[in-house]
């Protein structure tokens, strides 16, 4: 049966006190659109209104589970559990393959203290729906409510073992520690919830309550800020004896460097925990990126020739490091506005964390490149020792460019849209896909004035040609980068007081 409602009729439905009304025939509604009418009332926690709306929709859609099950939930939220039981019984009769009738039926029976019915329904549900996590979660909750703690923990263990990627079991496990007042255990279990599901608000909010029970108000405050502003900046929560984030005076440079290192390390750990493959993605991502360019330029367009694969990779790996670092760092001050307005910290902290974080990820990629070159027939030579100054010089260059963009974008936010385009232009202007010999000789100096083109040239001299880098060119790049570092530091000191105000405008 299909429902037809006009806009005026829908408005009247939301105001009527009757649980039933005559459906008109003015406009066609799909079931999910009609159900949204009732879901909206439930989202607003207007349970009486939700129950009436589900009752209305039950006339039109009797063959859909929500009109029975969710109507019972809305009644239960008002304390009308006896009235909910017949609806759930009908749901079980009509929809024998839907676990909701059994799960919500057990909850309603528990509310009216019909323990025998609770056991019967859940026992039947575990046989019918062994692959439904909600059945086992409800079984654990019910066993706990009936005082059978051991059985409750067994059911919870089953959920966490068989449904490790669903948060319900881990949340329930932490909540069980909260119920017993074991705040230290609860704190540890909520930390595990955050590690597995870092975007889940309950992992921060409920953990903050446990911290307060222990008397750790500062950690509780940090957790609430993490829930509100994002977990990325959360530092060393598990370490009890940490230095305060809000210092009475400016940190010296050693503490500042240590803070950057700690933040970057924790960001890397958090980023890895968000992926099933964890750290493997740090290798797969650049490999897939390089494979795309190799297929296009090496196989489809037949560019390069012998040795092209090694030439391509020795250009792509360093350039991808540069591009990802600059793009990540460019918007970090705006992204860090929540922390900046809560604690006293230099805005330079945010882009520097991005630079260090990407350097950590790039270490594995460079190791993979070295392994590839050795297998490809380019064994290490004494000239490879020169890689250290070239890598350090690229790190310095990325720091200057990333910090400069991060400083400018809060004042001219449209610049963030130009960063990907600029990096794409630089990709093709740095000799990643072509050799210096293909450029007319009178353009060589202009081409190598691009610092990334110069650095890629140095990488290839060392790795492919077995020669020392051009120290003169490196000297020019180093001089320009050092001057850039000085200018960036002076600019940040001058603008430091403006950033907290500008980023929230």
Q: What is the mean pLDDT of the chain?
A: 80
CA–CA distance from 392 to each of 17, 386, 491 (Å)? 73, 10, 23
pLDDT digits (tens, 9 = 90+) for 247-264: 444 446 777 788 788 877
- What residues does each domain of the chain span? 3-180, 181-230, 257-502
Alpha-carbon span 454 to 450, nearest angstrom = 6
Residue 487 has pLDDT above 90, yes or no: yes
Residue 17 has pLDDT above 80, yes or no: no
**What backbone phi and psi angles, to 5 degrees, belong to 29?**
-125, 135
Neighbours of 91 (CB within 10 A): 24
Residue 168 has pLDDT above 80, yes or no: yes
Residue 419's nearest CA partner among 411, 430, 433, 409 is 409
Long-range contacts of 100-103 (CB under 8 A, 24+ apart): 100/65, 100/69, 101/65, 101/68, 101/69, 102/128, 102/129, 102/135, 103/134, 103/135, 103/138
Q: 15: pLDDT confidence band, cut at 50, 70 and 90?
A: very low
Q: Is the pTM of this model over 0.95?
A: no
According to DSSP, the residues that pair with 28 across neighbouring strands are 4
pLDDT digits (tens, 9 = 90+) for 106-132: 898 889 888 888 889 988 888 889 898
Average confidence (pLDDT) over 428-453? 84
Q: Which is more confident, 418 or 277?
A: 418
Residue 348's nearest CA partner among 409, 271, 260 is 260
Alpha-carbon span 190 to 177, nearest angstrom = 10
Domain 3-180, CATH homologous superfamily name and number: Tetratricopeptide repeat domain (1.25.40.10)
Percent of the chain with pLDDT over 90: 10
Average confidence (pLDDT) over 257-275? 74
Q: 341: pLDDT confidence band, cut at 50, 70 and 90?
A: low
Q: Which residues contact 408 (CB under 8 A, 6 or more apart)?
A: 415
């Amino acid at each position: 049966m299909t429902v037809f409602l006009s806009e005026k009729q829908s408005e009247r439905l939301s105001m009527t006190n009757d649980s039933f009304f005559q459906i008109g025939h003015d406009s066609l509604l799909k079931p999910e659109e009609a159900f949204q009418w009732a879901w909206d009332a439930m989202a607003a926690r207007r349970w009486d209104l939700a129950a009436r709306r589900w009752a209305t929709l039950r006339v039109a859609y009797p063959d859909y589970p929500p009109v029975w099950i969710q109507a019972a939930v809305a009644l239960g939220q008002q304390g009308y559990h006896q009235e909910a039981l017949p609806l759930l019984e009908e749901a079980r009769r009509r929809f024998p393959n839907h676990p909701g009738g059994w799960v919500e039926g057990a909850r309603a029976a528990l509310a009216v203290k019909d323990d025998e019915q609770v056991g019967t329904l859940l026992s039947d549900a575990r046989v019918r729906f062994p692959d439904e996590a909600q059945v086992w979660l409800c079984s654990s909750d019910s066993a706990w409510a009936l005082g059978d703690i051991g059985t409750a923990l067994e059911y919870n263990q089953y959920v966490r073992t068989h449904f490790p990627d669903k948060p319900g079991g881990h949340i329930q496990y932490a909540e069980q520690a909260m119920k017993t007042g074991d705040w230290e255990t609860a704190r540890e279990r909520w930390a595990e919830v955050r590690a597995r599901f870092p975007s889940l608000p309950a992992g921060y909010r409920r953990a903050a309550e446990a911290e307060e029970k222990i008397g750790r108000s500062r950690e509780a405050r940090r957790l609430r800020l993490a829930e509100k502003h994002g977990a990325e900046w959360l530092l060393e929560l598990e370490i009890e004896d940490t230095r305060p984030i809000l210092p009475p005076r400016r940190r010296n440079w050693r503490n500042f460097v240590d803070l950057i290192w700690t933040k970057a390390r924790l960001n890397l750990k958090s980023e890895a925990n968000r992926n099933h493959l964890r750290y493997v993605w740090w290798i797969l991502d650049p490999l897939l990126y390089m494979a795309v360019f190799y297929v296009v330029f090496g196989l489809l367009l037949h560019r390069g020739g012998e040795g092209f694969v090694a030439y391509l990779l020795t250009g792509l790996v360093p350039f991808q490091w540069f591009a990802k670092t600059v793009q990540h760092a460019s918007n970090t001050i705006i992204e860090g506005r929540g922390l900046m307005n809560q604690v006293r910290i230099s805005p330079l902290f945010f882009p520097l964390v991005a630079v260090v974080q990407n350097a950590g990820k790039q270490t594995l990629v460079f190791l993979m490149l070295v392994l590839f070159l050795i297998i490809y027939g380019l064994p290490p030579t004494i000239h490879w020792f020169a890689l250290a100054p070239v890598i350090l010089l690229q790190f310095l260059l990325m720091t200057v460019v990333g910090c400069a963009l991060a400083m400018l974008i809060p004042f001219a936010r449209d610049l963030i849209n130009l960063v990907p385009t600029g990096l794409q232009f630089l990709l093709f202007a740095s000799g990643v896909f072509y050799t210096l010999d293909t450029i007319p000789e009178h353009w060589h100096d202009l081409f190598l004035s691009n610092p990334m083109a110069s650095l890629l040239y140095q990488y290839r001299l060392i790795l492919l040609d077995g020669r020392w880098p051009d120290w003169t060119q490196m000297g020019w790049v180093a001089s320009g980068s050092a001057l850039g570092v000085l200018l960036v530091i002076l600019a940040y000191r001058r603008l430091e007081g403006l950033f907290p105000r500008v980023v929230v405008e």
